[in-house]
Structure 1
Amino acid sequence: MCPRRVRAPIHDAAWGLVALALVQGEVALGSPWGSDVAPSPCRLLVGAPQAPAFPGQGANRTGGLYACPLTREPDDCWRVPIDQGADLQRESKENQWLGVSVRSQGPGGKIVACAHLYEARHRVGQELETRDAVGRCFLLSQDLAERDELDGGDWTFCQGRPQGHDRFGLCQQGLAAGFSPDRRYVLFGAPGTYNWKGTVRVERCNQSTLDLGLLDDGPYEAGGEKEQDPSRIPLPANSYLGFSLDSGKGLTRAQELSFVAGAPRANHTGAVVLLRRDALNRLVPEALLPGEQLTSAFGYALALADLNSDGWLDLVVGAPHFFDRHQELGGAAYVYINPSGRWEGARPLRLNGPPGSMFGVTVGALGDLNQDGFEDVAVGAPFDGAGKVYIYHGSSLGIVTKPAQVLDGEAVGMTTFGYSLSGGLDVDGNAYPDLLVGSLADTVALYRARPVIHVSRSITLEPPNIDLERETCRGHPGICVDVRLCFSYTATPTSYSPHVTLEYLLEADADRRQLGRMPRVAFPQRRPTDPEHRLSGEVELPGQRARVCVDSTFQLQDNIRDKLRPIAVVLSYDIKLARSKRQAPGAALPPLPPVLSAQQPSIQRAQVHFLRQGCGEDKVCQSNLQLEAWFCSRTGDADFLPLPSEADGTAMFAMTDQKDVALEIHVTNMPSDPAEPQRDGDDAHEALLTATFPSALLYASARPYDARAPPGMEKPVLCQSNENGSQAECDLGNPMKRGAQVRFYLIVSTSGITLETTELEVQLQLST
């Protein structure tokens, strides 16, 4: 049965700080498509360990390796033609699981794909025939062909060694595999070695080192490549050392390459072992990190990343079977921040998954997704619903425990999404690392990272201060402020310089609008759909560091009261995405549009102040409002006499047929010390008197102090009351100038006074 061709429709997906596009694929039913995945430049590599056999393999299912070009074509994935034959007198490839591990070195490098259940056959057809699951791995060049003596399927270090389950008969080489970051070594895990104690082997795979004759450089092996002594591995039987692998410099020593391997069944809790090379071609344990909980499978997966950018590699360890019934947890990932290479007593931070999710079954280093200088990691949880992948960012303090993004398999029609993942390589050439997510179903998903741009913006206001006595509008009366907005952007790499369109929104008097108050300004050039205090528009940036400015103007409304508080101008902006264009069949995936950096707020603020004339040299208005008030009787429309008072100064009101009583108000704004007039007595902006009356009195009106004065000689005081007349506010001036004084009468109705009324109190409060 031949596998169906892969269909690969493209979808868009947003990813917090970066956004990604998605690719789907499909092969033969029953094939764990995406059991292991690896991005490689210009193509995706996908392992399908249950793929049907080639005709010459003498088997039904052998597994295989698939390659998918980065196009929108629905059926352009193809099976890599490796391992097509079989010598049934020496080997069996039935259910060998080719593709259980797939790794790429990146551009120009090698590719490794393994079949950990490949069997070596002995005494075929005889009564004592044996089959040994030694495992086997293939190395390929970048074009997926065998180009030099390193390439091919001869990477079988367990074959030819002593067999039996206590030696190398169930080696299972290649269940985990990988490359060292310097491309010098290929790594193999063999968890079935030594009665499933397991081992790790490191071999040279760099052609240049072979050409230089560096024959003393390995191979290196836990237990010794020559001694083959399991006692040198500090783990019991059935530990599965080599189930997971990684390597890097800065793990135990700053500039020395070290190796780390998971043993998920060690001591029934799991463990992780840190290894170094010695002069005898051995991998020597340097530290052992134990698991926390029985049967948690600590070490099932692991990854190295410099999360806090201190030059030391930090360690993330998956424990997918961790659980806590009371806290409803299922699966965990332990994060070890590297203690400068001293791992004894290191204490991890635990990230937890939901019940039954197998959170931590795979973990992966992603590189620096959002270009903030800190590396990021992913954790898979394939049974969290349809499967999820949790993205965590690094920071100066280590890992940020709140996921920056959760990728959901349901959103892309996948199940067991996140069973495998591979990140940290740039597959589409935009200099940003991408992520490939696999599953136990028939689909894989590629998430491409969008480039991050950093926008520089500025707001210039002219004039920077508003002089209320000077009209500044051009061509018409009024007070105007010119606004200049300037934009540019930078990005990584510097060669990335596309045309970017920004949509912007300028909002004036934003602080007042948030309080529900009317704006004091309007934009004459605004769009018809914009409210008067807002201006929207677009600006075209032709490339990196190209500075483009746009100009606008807002005008002050007439008769504003608040002349003291500054006018806040808030600029917000975002990238305008162009409509996607239909592509020709077979065309490469189009470049993704950029996204704004989340490390930089996409909001800019500026303020224009009112000139505070009469506020002293420090421009801080220190007024000195003083209040005097007397109860008066009203003898005519404009005649008022003070009420008689008791010895303590309390005014006495006698019940007569008088319906009104008056309060004479006298407010001054004078320096408190004539010898130091600069200390206070400055202009009082929005000077206000608030009068609160008892239930027996109601506000009626306000009268000038000298009602007989000629018109214009005395400015009337305007007062407004609430609906029931229990409170009134009187405008004393905006501003009430230095040295000013205000006199007026508040007329109060006495209709609410009864025989039971014995005391009347009016509360007066000044504010500015």
Structure 2
Amino acid sequence: QGWRRWRRLRLFPRPRPSLAFNLDVESPTVYSGSEGSYFGFAVDFFAPDLSSMFLLVGAPKANTTQPGIVQGGQVLKCNWNPNRRNCQPIVFDATGNRDFAKNDPLEFKSHQWFGASVRSKDDKILACAPLYHWRTEQKAEREPVGTCYLHDGSKAFEYAPCRSTSIDAEGQGFCQGGFSIDFTQGDRVLLGGPGSFYWQGQLISDKVAEIVSKYNPKVYTTKYDSQLATRSANAAFDDSYLGYSVAVGDFSHDGIEDFVSGVPRAARTLGMVSIYNGDTMASMYNFTGEQMAAYFGYSVAATDINGDDYTDLLIGAPLFMDRGSDGKLLEVGQVSVYLQQATGGFQSQAMKLNGFEVFARFSSSIAPLGDLDQDGYNVTLFCLPLGSFQRARPVITVNAGLEVTPTILNPEDKSCELNENGQKVSCFKVKFCLKADGKGSLPRDLTFHVELLLDKLKQKGAIRRALFLHNRQPVHSKNMTVPKGGRMSCEELQAFLRDDSEFRDKLTPITIFMEYQLDYKTAMDSTGLQPILNQFTPANVSRQAHILLDCGEDNVCRPDLQVAVDSDQKQIYIGDENPLTLVVNAENLGEGAYEAELFVTVPPQADFIGIVRNKEDLARLSCAFKTENKTRLVVCDLGNPMKAGTKLSAGLHFSVHQESEMDTFVKFDLQIRSSNMYNNLSPVTSYQVDLAILAVVEIRGVSSPDHLFLPIPNWQPKENPETEDDIGPLVQHIYELRNNGPSAVSKVMLNLQWPYKYNNNTLLYIMEYEIEGPMNCTSDMEINPLKIKVNEKNETTNGGDSRSHNVNRRDLSAAEGDVQTLGCGTAECLKIFCQVGRLEREKTAILYLKSRLWTQTFMNKENQNHSYSLKSSASFSVIEFPYKNLSFPEDVHNSTIVTTNILWGIQPAPMTVQVWVIILAVLAGLLLLALLVFIMYRVSGVFNES
């Protein structure tokens, strides 16, 4: 609350909120009230006639002469004549509390805060006590309904629209009527009661004439026929405080003033301001704050700000926080200004005015003051109740000048020497000047810190295109002393342009920036008061220089960029590793294009490999892959500049894959971009290549071993074999299904036929089968029906005795001449059905069939001395591909046959090496070793002599 021993209200004859150069601050009018009365809590001017002017001042904690009342509050009328600065209380109510019976009061006027709100219109004064309490005879609880008094110059009339016989929080029991008040031009009063309906708040308006005519001191609750009032809303609007602040103004263009109310805790404490129709109390507009708990709507005002004869709206948010120079949030307060439009409604964007002092509660109240300085615009006063008092600082006005010669820089005109080696550079002059003057206690000479920066607009870390000649840096700093009120002080420096090979940007202007700061320590007076620079004069100045371009007389280049693309590949097989090559043709039919680059948008189904370098007719561009906003790009440099008439062809390699099973094509977008101001883009050119399926699937088979010799030495048949060896030698058929690509397959059916019996005699008895890869198999007969014990370890597949045998040529020829083929055309076959899953390129699925030759069948007398060719067969067919929207080749199938030969005779022995050959080879090796030792010995001797 912060009220000191005396609370004084200072008023000035000609107040102005901002540039108040004409205020008579030497002789302010001062009014004082009693200690602790909160004198000045509310103020208003009162002009009952054209010849009279008074100041109304509320003192809501003042003691009065009302019997039995403590700090009832009062309103004082102060004479505006500065020679008669007296203030006299206005008598609105001289009575104490009214009672139902002795010691049974029905109202409570102590601490009612009468005078907390005061408004006047012509000879009428409305003053309120929002903390006035009341109770009914049925309830002992008292509630702060609030009450007001209307004074017409001779008599006061009580006005308590929230006082009723049913008082509780759900209704108007906590109304606090009169918390905010105003008059309309149509002789109505507007009253805000922020506590009604569980603090949803309420607006009430009644006619002045009806308040006067229906007043009866013996009647406590009065019904007004012309009353306008807002009603209770749903519970979501509880604790919103409608009626916290009020104002009136015509916002419907009908000549009737409408009602404005702040609702500072609405919209989850963002705050709102609502406008209601002044004829029907219907809702018209709602404005919502942008920051929680800023108390948007704490204060409101309606006045014409811009002189267009339409009432505008001002809204205060005294707890608004903004970030300071250090990035921290500071409470500075804010005013939002909404301008009304001639066509109705308001401009969509509000003007924002932030406070300048922390915790000063800027915009706690807003007061339209009219056109004080007669400039055609109304003046509005914003209050900072917790603002500090500061001494005025002398203001220094600075005129700064900056000149660049020449402003068009020719990179070829190298007239300055950069170093002792005589390196020539293109240079220009930078002339900077200062002039300063001011009023107040200022020294004769003023010192400024001046900083010059070349190519200011380049980002930090980027190459500055110009440097100062004396230090080869883009920055020059110095302290500059100028006489107060003297002539312009100037200095001149030389700067130069870097070689154009050191930077790319030749189009944007080179900004030369000058900034100055006052040396406050040398400018302060003997009391330590420091002056301040005029805040309406910029503390910096800038000029621009342009690099001369080969672009005609206007030095503005207008290129005509064109790009075309082609490829000899109209479709791409999915999975193919051969890259897609795009041949790009870029052309400039206009003037030079600076920082020209080719942009290729790479689709997700493609990856950039590189440029084509092995063709002389294609340019070897410098290209790089990068990502911008999740867009994958290949960017290629086309020249800086890409001169007029330039034609370039380049090849770009891309690998292509299918990102999604739904993809059917791959699309590339190409465009040339430059940094020119005009015509800096070429039309976008697209190239689309279709995706296709190609899968080369093959099947191969092998027998291990591929032939067996009978009879098997030392083998005897068993009537009931128990082990594998009891049956005969091992025979394996291995089938490999291989996808050579490039595309994948997702489903293949593999069918195998196995020669199982012939004339009811078993041929190859399958012990088991194994699979490798994504494959599942079933058979039409039981595998290993005799339950023969399977060997735990794989044995060699040479099929029996390894002893050497000599077989003459005549025997073999005789055996091979008598061969009987036993396949599925002559023998009974077992069938195995396999389903193969997804096979990518170069992937396989293998089926291992492990069997035993049923030797007893071939040892029968009728089968001896005969050779047999046992044949199994396998066939496959591709059923599905993993590409949903692409047509795939039909009838992808093949087959193969695996043969195991059964030969009757003696297995040939392996060829042996004679002993004399071995001895001769050993002797030759020893001789070669001796020769190498001798040569090394001779070589080492030569080095030792050296």
TM interval, short-chain normalised = 0.3 to 0.5
TM-score, normalisation: structure 2: 0.40
Q: Which of the pair has more CA radius of gyration? A: 2
Q: TM-score, normalised by structure 1?
A: 0.47
Q: Quick check: which one's helix share is greater?
A: 2
Structure with bigger RCO (C-alpha 8 Å, 6+ apart)? 1
